[in-house]
Structure 1
Amino acid sequence: MQAVILAAGMGNRLGKYTKDNTKCMLPINGRTLIERALDALDIGGIRKCIMVVGYKKENVIAFLGKKYKNISIEYVSNDIYNKTNNIYSLYLAKDYLLQDDTLLLESDLIFEEKLISDMLQNPEPTIAAVAQYESWMDGTVVKLADDNIIASFIPKKIFNYDEKETYYKTVNIYKFSKEFLRNIYVPFLEAYSHAMGNNEYYEQVLRVITTLDQHELKAFILTRQKWYEIDDIQDKNIAEVIFSDTASERLNRITKCYGGYWRFPRLLDFCYLVNPYFPTKQMFNEMKAYFTDLIASYPSGLNTQNLLGGKLFGIDDSAILVGNGAAELIRAAAATLRGSLGVIYPTFNEYPESFAENKIVPLIPEGFSYSKKDLSIFAEKCDMLLLINPDNPTGNCIPAGDILDLLDELKTKNKKLILDESFIDFCDFDGESSLLKQDILDKYPNLIVIRSLSKSFGVPGIRLGVLASGDKEFIKKTRSHIPIWNINSFGEYFLQIIGKYIKDYRFSCTELIRERERFKKNLENIGFLKVYPSQANYLFCQIKSNITARELAEHLLEHNDILIKDLAGKKGIPDASYIRIAVRGKEDNDKLTNKLMLFYKQL
């Protein structure tokens, strides 16, 4: 068995990284792509490798020489790499293909070493590595028939997203038997090249072969094996996360992404907070139906967004601002407000980071719990008081009646209350919990209510939040810090149609409350977590063992692709034993519970 690696291309989309070097020399976490590939081949027992080089070939040859570890290397030069595609590069190596069973791979791949060994051990003589199609993938896909026979190759131009569940992406690693190469592939490669020219792709030849009544090309379906194709700078960034050298490094890298986890489809995110039961399928379908119109149209300005936000909450449009997420509104409010701000720690970092550090008055309550009386005492120390209700990350919640009493006190002292109700709809107190009502805003001009719609309505990708106040001068000044077109058309359309789905939304909140309590009991039954009461869509937990939150987070990510929030180092958190776990759907919650149970048994 030999290997052929195609490494002649220029890799223009990688910009500065391939300006003076070929793509296979791209380092990922300190090791080049070609080193990673050759290491995998060496471990798999491959002793001969033919490399087709072109762009900056002298760098590759100087770097590798004629031998890499136990692998002898021979070079084939594609001197017209800038005028041809990879079918010509492979054509140049056709004489080598006739000599032995061959692993064919492209040089812009990164993959775990086990993948090569798994393919070599597979009893099928001719296989193509494929993976279930996912959103990040690009390029040729295939459809499979019985016994994993590749039925057809689907090129980009006829890709049908309605059929994406049936597609498998070619990983661009193949194992070919010498008989297949000699009797089928190479003759077809020569004929296709002569007929169609050199500006084609070698997979086109495989596509033709799969049209034969009988052929032996089968799929080797990847399951847990990691791989990634690197075409541009974003791919490089993602690959550095997936192929981090240590669990600690991987956790650091992925948390610094601050979301965008759809790029990591295997990741189960218990860190970021969202309603798993809303929107409904019907609402999603309605938004999909108008996708083309929305993406091709400008959104309305802020006046219209405020009308829509006001309609949703029954608030006059002059008393409300709609923002690109709550974060935009927090920053705008901070730019308007004057005076000291009392902050209860631990808290949502966006608030203290938005206000000047010398204006923050901290309060760290005992046991992560506080009452109206505690808030009243604390308010004496500051000009404005921040209350996140339910609190983030603890889930502590103050009843609406107590907050109204507090507002009466603050009003007489000319003090403001910033009330963040991003999670209030998950509160199961008897009676109405939210103070986002016009009559309350009118009565208490010292009240500022902020809500993130992303978290409660399950649309974090749309980015929506609202700020409301009866203080019209404050609204006017805060608005001056917000762009007139801050909401995209998808956010606007969501606000336009949400009224039809409010009943479904309220039901989703009820479902989440029920699942939260079930999930909480299951976590408590594991035996090494103290789970605090919560009125939000997350659970605040203390680890009752000799491991740290960081160690648990690293273990879950490394071995289970599960991400939790490690709270170590967060202000107000006394030690490294606290975590926050989002409440997801039953299936996901049970998976995390089972993985935690297994981990606990191994301690």
Structure 2
Amino acid sequence: MKYENNRPPMAVILAAGIGSRLRPLTDESAKSLLSVGGSVILERMIRNCLSCGISQFVLVLGHRADEIKQFVDKAFRGIRVTYVINDRYRDTNTGYSLMLASAVVGTAEFIKFDADVVFDTRILRELVDSDLPNVLCIDRNIALADEEVKVITDGQMRVCEIGKTVDPIKALGESIGIEKISAVTGPLVFAELKEMMQSAANAQEYYEAAYARLIGKGVPFHALDITGMKWTEIDTVEDFAVANALFGSPVTTVSRGQQQVLDQAGTTPLRPI
């Protein structure tokens, strides 16, 4: 099998969910099409990817799929995007959605995004620049409870355990829903998910369950500490308010070279386009 290591990673965005905990905001809108700080959540994500040189996208859709397609096709004419439809979005979870991307991703390296995460581009730049093959973005400054996907690492930041049932006392922090998966490991992730989904009991499993199974088999995953960088997951109306407080202005698309100049000069970001 030939692995594709000589091109920027794909972006795989999981956006099939209903967003029921965000009602009434999602009564007439897909969660990923809500506006935060003057920019649609999905627009922020795609522009951040473009800023980091990622130009090929796989969107796994379900709820309000046509609306999301229409938005992306209108807002981002010319980008390479493949839509994958999860017709079972009402009775499955992120593990099933990610599994459906297998045929499109093939043996390419990819970065997987939960479509309800709003984040500073700096997080993605550091993830893309990491030399490690499989990397999870981790925030240590989180009050860990049952809802969070918790991660335990060793002294070299290699992941030992991941999942919502991980002991919060032993955990380093929360996995924020953005990961880089290598060209070699990707097919292994999809194989685990396919095996899991053969049992109806696993329909509601999260994709992290596949990571955990591979970690148990010795496949290396590492944590990237992004503590202090801006990000938030939007699950509830309260989360939505936090997101608008953190990200109060429209997204910008800034190239790597432009950002380096801005950082060195200490100036404000470029105007939105």
AA aligned opposite 1:45 = G
Aligned residues of 1:53 and 1:78 also touching (Cα < 8 A): yes
Which 5+ residue runs of structure 2 have no aligned equivalent?
Answer: 1-8, 251-267, 269-273
Partner of 1:233: 237
Aligned residues of 1:149 and 1:217 also touching (Cα < 8 A): yes
Deviations 1:541-560, CA, capped at 9 Å, x for gaps: xxxxxxxxxxxxxxxxx9xx
**In structure 1, the residue corresponding to 2:13 is in which secondary structure?**
strand
Greater radius of gyration (CA) = 1
Partner of 1:370: none
**In structure 1, the residue corresponding to 2:160 is in which secondary structure?**
strand
**Equivalent-residue separation in structure 2 for 1:32 and 1:83 (angstroms):** 26
AA aligned opposite 1:170 = S
Structure 1 stretches of 4+ with a deviation exceeding 3 A read none
Classify 1:200/1:154 alpha carbon distance in 2 versus 1 (closer, same or farther; 3 Å).
Answer: closer
Aligned positions of 1:77-476 closer than 5 A: 77-135=85-143, 138-156=147-165, 159-160=167-168, 163=169, 166-182=171-187, 184-195=188-199, 196-212=201-217, 214-245=218-249
AA aligned opposite 1:188 = E
AA aligned opposite 2:245 = V
Partner of 1:397: none
Displacement of 1:102 in angstroms is 0.3
**Equivalent-residue separation in structure 1 for 2:131 and 2:167 (angstroms):** 31
**Equivalent-residue separation in structure 2 for 1:126 and 1:215 (angstroms):** 9
Displacement of 1:202 in angstroms is 0.8
**Equivalent-residue separation in structure 2 for 1:104 and 1:67 (angstroms):** 21
Aligned positions of 1:45-64 closer than 5 A: 45-64=53-72
AA aligned opposite 2:224 = F
Aligned residues of 1:66 and 1:72 also touching (Cα < 8 A): no
**Equivalent-residue separation in structure 1 for 2:156 and 2:20 (angstroms):** 39
**Equivalent-residue separation in structure 2 for 1:167 and 1:193 (angstroms):** 29
Q: Does 1:44 align with 2:48?
A: no
Displacement of 1:133 in angstroms is 4.6
Partner of 1:3: 11
**In structure 2, the residue corresponding to 1:65 is in which secondary structure?**
helix
Which 5+ residue runs of structure 1 have no aligned equivalent?
Answer: 247-557, 559-603
Displacement of 1:224 in angstroms is 2.8
Count of residues paired in the alignment? 241
AA aligned opposite 2:64 = K
Aligned positions of 1:528-567 closer than 5 A: none
Displacement of 1:231 in angstroms is 0.3
- TM-score after normalising by structure 1: 0.38
- TM-score after normalising by structure 2: 0.82
Deviations 1:159-200, CA, capped at 9 Å, x for gaps: 44xx16x43101110101111112x21221211121343221
Counterpart of 1:26 (choices 31, 34, 53) is 34
Identity across aligned pairs (percent)? 24
**Equivalent-residue separation in structure 1 for 2:137 and 2:77 (angstroms):** 25
**Equivalent-residue separation in structure 2 for 1:208 and 1:216 (angstroms):** 11
Aligned residues of 1:102 and 1:175 also touching (Cα < 8 A): yes
**Equivalent-residue separation in structure 2 for 1:121 and 1:78 (angstroms):** 31
**Equivalent-residue separation in structure 1 for 2:144 and 2:237 (angstroms):** 14
**Equivalent-residue separation in structure 2 for 1:113 and 1:80 (angstroms):** 32
Deviations 1:477-535, CA, capped at 9 Å, x for gaps: xxxxxxxxxxxxxxxxxxxxxxxxxxxxxxxxxxxxxxxxxxxxxxxxxxxxxxxxxxx
**Equivalent-residue separation in structure 2 for 1:96 and 1:113 (angstroms):** 25
Classify 1:236/1:226 alpha carbon distance in 2 versus 1 (closer, same or farther; 3 Å).
Answer: same
Partner of 1:327: none
**In structure 1, the residue corresponding to 2:197 is in which secondary structure?**
helix
**In structure 1, the residue corresponding to 2:232 is in which secondary structure?**
strand
AA aligned opposite 2:70 = A
Aligned residues of 1:86 and 1:200 also touching (Cα < 8 A): yes
**Equivalent-residue separation in structure 2 for 1:200 and 1:66 (angstroms):** 33
Higher relative contact order (CA 8 A, sep 6+): 2
Classify 1:88/1:24 alpha carbon distance in 2 versus 1 (closer, same or farther; 3 Å).
Answer: same
AA aligned opposite 1:143 = I
**Equivalent-residue separation in structure 2 for 1:167 and 1:121 (angstroms):** 22
**Equivalent-residue separation in structure 2 for 1:233 and 1:207 (angstroms):** 30
**Equivalent-residue separation in structure 2 for 1:26 and 1:147 (angstroms):** 38
